[in-house]
Structure 1
Amino acid sequence: MELQLAGKRALVTGSSAGLGESVAKLLAAEGVSVVVHGRDAAKTEQVVKAIEAEGNRATFVLGDLGTDEGAAQVAATAGAVDILVNNAGYFEPARGWTDLGPADWAEMYNVNVLSSVRLIERLVPGMRERGWGRVIQIGSVVGIVPQAKQPHYSASSAARHALATSLARELKETGVTSNAVAPGGILTEVSERNLTLLGRSQGWGTTWAEIEPNLLRALAPNDIGRISRPDEIANAVVYLASPLAGSITGSTLQVDGGWYDAPAA
């Protein structure tokens, strides 16, 4: 399918690895000039080189979006963009109510929510003036179906979803849309390695092929019986970024394999 994205420019935050990297590479493959963002110069530049090796266009920008100064630097370096994917953030699956203090909640909100707000304030006015743009928040299914663990992450994800809907109302009739994508688990090299070790310790198998379905049944059941791959989530993001998705705004798209339960931790 031709997504009609050639000639657009995008900033993808937190794109030096993981889901953000997949989004950046897929956008670039569709003809988008991508600004890859990270905090590690070597990793971020490596993504740019991989994109360029495929004959596509990319540059990179470094900066801490957890501060006003860092966000201003990133926005200024990125320049005018047509597409803003607010992917940067973090989670802490081992944390729970009893070992979280107000400072932990505040830091999670600052990084996962306010970092997006900082870039929206700086980059979306230009989209509005030009009459076209796409703003996409990466949230999480736990913002819709929270678990007992990592309540601060669930709350920040729900805030990202609400932010996307509110922004859509603000941008009505401007040609700029605002949406969120809520993944479930995402299988990366790091998560596969860590989950394989967990699975072996729990007696769920020895190989990843044996462990994956047993792990899902125990921790995060879904209808597809496996963990989503980064490109599967990125495909949804890239579609929402395209002109073909012009009638979708104010929505949170769940790309979670049909997550249907949240077992008590």
Structure 2
Amino acid sequence: MDLQLAGKRALVTGSSSGLGEEIARLLAAEGASVVVHGRDEARTAAVAKAIREAAGEATVAIGDLGTDEGADTVAAAALKAGPIDILVNNVGVYKPTAVWESTSPGEWADIYNINVVSSVRMIQRIVPGMRDRHWGRVIQISSVTGHLPQSSQPHYAASNAARNNLAKSLARDVKHSGVTSNAVAAGGILVPAVREALTHMGKQNGWGDTWEQIEPNLVEALSPNDVGRIGRPRDFAGLVAYLASPMSEYITGTTLRIDGGWYDA
């Protein structure tokens, strides 16, 4: 399927690795010119180089979106070669070991700044141009924990609920402009670091010795779903690419869960 992304320019924040990298690669493969963002210049440049070697178009933007100054730098680099049509706010942090008793108010503020306010910074710098051109796509990457919070990582779950709320509020603000705003609430994402940590956990809990043995048992114990596995980056990137395309123009103000049918209870 042709997603009609040729001629569009996309900025994917936090795309020097993980899900952001997969989104950037897929958007480029579909014909978009991609701005790869990260804080580590070498890793970010390596992703952009790989995209170009695969016949895609990619440039880089380096900066810390946790500050206004960093956001200014990233926006300037992204807009240098032309307007941005697609903004994917993927930057985010989490801390699996965080619990209510030991997570300080300062840590709550820090995670909100990165997971929520960084998106606000980029929206304020990029979306006015979309509105002026009467076309644009804004996509927040959040987590299913925004709907299904656990006792652990309370600050992370709350920040994801805020991301979803942000997407809907923005949709109201840009109504009738040709700009859409949505959120993708992801279930577990199997990137290499996560797989390594979960393999160690699986062996400790007696769920198996290999990943193939561990994964179904781990899913049943921690995040039971109807597919029976953890999501791969491409599972999520495909939905993001569709939402970024002209074909999704009747979808706005919504949060789409992609979690294999994770049970609510």
Q: Does 1:228 align with 2:228?
A: no
Which runs of 4 or more aligned residues in structure 1 lie more than 3 Å from their structure 2 counterparts after TM superposition? none
Equivalent position of 1:247 in the other structure: 250
Residue number in structure 2 paired with 1:43: 43
2:95 is aligned to 92
Cα contact 1:177–1:249 (8 A) shared by 2: yes
Correspondences of 1:1-265 after superposition (within 5 Å): 1-79=1-79, 80-261=83-264
Quick check: 1:220–1:261 contact (8 Å CA) kept in 2?
Answer: no
Distance (whole Å) between structure 2 residues aligned to residue 102 and residue 193 of structure 1: 30
Distance 1:190 1:104 in 2: 22
Letter in 2 for 1:152: H
Residue 226 of structure 2: SS of its match in structure 1? coil
Instruction: Please report the TM-score for the alignment, with normalisation by the length of structure 2.
Output: 0.98
Cα distance, 1:245 vs structure 2: 0.3
Q: What amino acid does structure 2 have at the position aligned with 1:119?
A: M
What is the CA-CA distance between 1:60 and the residue it aligns to? 0.7
Matched AA of 1:145: L
The whole-number CA distance in structure 2 between the counterparts of 1:123 and 1:179 is 15
Deviation at 1:81, TM superposition (A): 0.1
CA distance, structure 1, for counterparts of residue 60 and residue 146 of structure 2:
30
Task: For 1:146 and 1:223, locate their aligned partners in 2 and report how far apart those are by CA, in whole Å.
Answer: 19
> 2: CA distance between counterparts of 1:146 and 1:46?
35
- How far apart, CA to CA, are the structure 2 residues paired with 1:93 and 1:144? 17
Q: Secondary structure at the match of 1:91?
A: coil
Hey, what's the Cα distance between the residues in 2 that align with 1:176 and 1:196?
42
Question: 1:51: how far off?
Answer: 0.3
Instruction: Report the 3-state secondary structure (helix = DSSP H, G, I; strand = E; otherwise coil) of the residue aligned with 1:61.
Output: strand
Aligned residues: 262
Alpha-carbon separation, structure 2, partners of 1:219 and 1:256: 13
Residues 223-243 of structure 1 deviation map (CA, whole Å, 9 limit, x = unaligned): 110000000100000000000
Write the letter of the residue equivalent to 2:22: S
Rounded Cα–Cα distance in structure 2 between residues aligned with 1:16 and 1:90: 14
Q: Deviations over 1:125-169 (max 9, x none)?
A: 000000000000000000011111000000000000000000000
The one-letter amino acid of 2:67's match is: T
Amino acid at match of 1:48: A
- The alignment's C-alpha RMSD in Å is 0.7
Secondary structure in 1 matching 2:88:
strand
1:192-251: CA deviations, max 9, x gaps? 111111101110000101000100111111111000000010000000000000000001
Measure, in 1, the Cα distance between the counterparts of 2:94 and 2:262.
18
Q: Kindly state the Cα deviation for residue 41 of structure 1 after the two structures are TM-superposed.
A: 1.0
Counterpart-to-counterpart distance in 1, 2:42 and 2:198: 26
Give the whole-Å Cα distance in 1 for the aligned partners of 2:3 and 2:32: 11
- 1:261 shift after superposition: 4.2
